[in-house]
Amino acid sequence: MTGLGWSIRIAMLLLVLIAALAAWLGHAVLDGGTNGWLAAGGLVLVSAVAIAVVVERHLVGRLQALRAVIARTYADGDLTRRAGTSGRDELAQVAADYNRLMESFAIIVGKLLFNSIEVGSASQQLIGDARRVASGS
């Protein structure tokens, strides 16, 4: 299970535990006939749906927060905005990668700004030199 986030690992573990519980219930109620199997199946289904809803809400909420940060950064061009990187799962890694990307973009834009100022200053100096040469000839 390498590469899977903690929330997915927990969900998988819980599903395995539910499957084991269902097998135990199935074995225990084997003599109970169809009603025992229906009860075990219902328990498994309700538990699996509950786990899926909890994990889905957790992941979707974090994805929406990351998407909102990206959308706001795109809308206003603020390269200093950062995404939250709480956790150690894949979403936290994506958020950290986004933050590094924005840091890199900010450095590139800063260098471009510095270089454009230098070019502007050099061009003003060349214009001044050209005027002096033209007036001196």
Instruction: Quickly state the pLDDT bin for 106 (edges 50, 70, 90).
Output: very high
The domain limits of the chain are 6-136
- How open is the CA angle 71-74-79, to the nearest 5 degrees? 115
Question: Among residues 123, 71, 128, 122, which one has the least CA distance to residue 98?
Answer: 71
For 58, residues 6+ apart whose C-beta sits below 8 A from its C-beta are 7
Contact 21, 43 (CB under 8 A): yes
User: Which tokens hold the place of 34?
Assistant: 């169809």
Instruction: Quickly state the pLDDT bin for 96 (edges 50, 70, 90).
Output: very high
pTM of the model: 0.57
> Would you say residue 5 has pLDDT above 90?
no
> Would you say residue 7 has pLDDT above 90?
no
The DSSP code sequence of 61-88 is HHHHHHHHHHHHHHHH--TT------SS
Question: Among residues 25, 28, 62, which one has the least CA distance to residue 45?
Answer: 25
pLDDT tens across 41-95, in order? 777 778 788 888 777 777 888 888 999 999 999 999 999 999 988 878 888 899 9
| Helix or strand holding residue 99 (H, E) | helix 90-136
For 6, residues 6+ apart whose C-beta sits below 8 A from its C-beta are 87, 88, 89
> Would you say residue 34 has pLDDT above 50?
yes
